[in-house]
Chain A
Amino acid sequence: GNSVTQMEGPVTLSEEAFLTINCTYTATGYPSLFWYVQYPGEGLQLLLKATKADDKGSNKGFEATYRKETTSFHLEKGSVQVSDSAVYFCALSEFSGAGNMLTFGGGTRLMVKP
């Protein structure tokens, strides 16, 4: 079956540091890949997505590239801010007879200190 593995957190960084959150996946076909962000007390929000190999998703300074050869979709940001403190979820979506299903990783908590 499908699965998503993320690095365990928390990840603690100082403001303006470089961020990488690793994500690898296992899928039977050709999934779409997503990063979601959850701020405290809120629901998950779609941060970025990529639907095919070598696509790069980007939003709010965050980027992730769909690497089929390494089955990875690592999240990066060049300079984090305190406001980026949140939990980040990697996910994949693959259409099946039951419809579209998202498989989530366990989430990685990011804490950015001033």
Chain B
Amino acid sequence: KNQVEQSPQSLIILEGKNCTLQCNYTVSPFSNLRWYKQDTGRGPVSLTIMTFSENTKSNGRYTATLDADTKQSSLHITASQLSDSASYICVVTTISNFGNEKLTFGTGTRLTIIP
């Protein structure tokens, strides 16, 4: 069972509208959380990274929030553009007792922007 759950699985919105994507995780102990954007048939590109002490991080029209207490993160996209159509992947890093890092990838939210 994937311990990083994203919702919704897919989302369709009109160009210019805002949207929010959700990421809930159960993995622990938490080290950091990253959001990636993946265009169809391409590799993911990092949007933001947040550590335990950060609760918000912006990258242009993308704003990520993190609530480490409830183990939830969201990615808010403002004034959507056609080029925002992509899959958005949440990745949570944990650290084992031996200090090894492990990345757990969510299954992604497929966002489609229509004109």
Do A and B actually bind?
no
